[in-house]
Amino acid sequence: MAHPDSLEAVQRLIEYRFKNPHLLDAALTHASVAEHRLSSNERLEFLGDAILGLVICEELYARFPDYLEGDMTHIKSVVVSRDTCANVTNRLGIMDHLSLGKGITGGAAIPTSLAACAYEALVGAIYLDGGLEPARAFILRHMAAEIDRVEAGEHLRNYKSMLQQHAQRELGATPHYEVLDEKGPDHAKAFEVAVLIRGRLFPSAWGPSKKAAEQQAAMEALRELGLLENDSNEVTE
């Protein structure tokens, strides 16, 4: 069982006070130190993973009404990733209060997956203790900034998504990508792709793969439509 001081400290860190402290204790108990795996945080982790996905999906759906399924899926996959969950756990200082077996605390670096599991277990514990709203508040208190980071840093550079949103919203059409040419040996081919929207063919672009060429062609179309300022960046992936 976690030390009472740890239970108190974690409640302050997560800004939530448990009605049933045994749930918090279970969330902080790793299988390496539990008397039985059923007494560890693994079951809470399983539940918390589902609650986290639900809350993030609902938030993305409400926050980005113009985003397509693929756009939201991309953002969600980064936000709920083990790296992101582990980063939140470490920022909060939760790992200092996790009950671990001596084999794990013997000086080696603690795996990212362990920190991520602790976060999901806490989500599950809060959900069981107080319901969905406290769990949602806990998740968004830290993950809202992660959503902003992913959306600003990655999604806005997805020219195909930007073009598709504009075309469907303003033109009532879906962009089509046509391969006009390809050159080079099989192991190092380059592709020329152009975007076609409602019969209008936009300037073509080359790329080291069809995917990269499509992104580059989408960028050219966005420029042509006046939606993107001149940018010398090339899309490589």
Give the other-Cβ count within 10 Å of 37's Cβ: 11
Which one is catalytic: 25, 59, 71, 120? 120
Examine the residue annotation and report whether 96 is marked as an active-site residue of this protein: no
Residue 193, C-beta contacts closer than 8 angstroms, at least 6 positions apart: 177, 178, 179, 180, 204, 205, 206, 207, 210, 213, 214, 216, 217
Alpha-helical regions (H) of 4-107: 4-14, 21-27, 42-63, 69-79, 82-92
| Secondary element (H or E) of residue 205 | strand 205-207
Residue 120: active-site member: yes
Contact 76, 60 (CB under 8 A): yes
Question: Which residues carry out catalysis?
Answer: 49, 120
